[in-house]
Amino acid sequence: MVNEFRIFDKGQWGNFSMTDGHEIFQSTGIKDKYGKMIFEGDYLYLENFDVEYDNGVEDFIDVDEVREVVFEEGCFRIVALWDNTICCNIDMVNPELCKIVGNVKKTPMTNDRIQEL
81 within a domain of the structure (yes/no): yes
Range of 45's domain?
24-116
For 41-66, what is each residue's pLDDT tens digit? 999 988 776 666 667 666 666 667 88
Q: Does any domain span residue 95?
A: yes
Amino acid identity of 74? G
- Is 1 domain-assigned? no
pLDDT band at residue 36 under the 50/70/90 scheme: very high
Tell me what the pLDDT averaged over the chain comes to.
76
Q: Kindly list the strands in the beta sheet with 75-80, ordered across the sheet, starting from the edge strand earlier in the chain.
A: 86-89, 75-80, 65-72, 42-46, 98-103
| Residue 34, in any domain of the structure | yes
Q: What is the pLDDT of residue 1?
A: 44
Neighbours of 89 (CB within 10 A): 13
Separation of CA 72 from chain center: 11
Provide the domain count of the chain: 1
Q: Which comes out higher in pLDDT, residue 25 or 10?
A: 25
Q: Are 69 and 90 in contact (CB under 8 A)?
A: yes
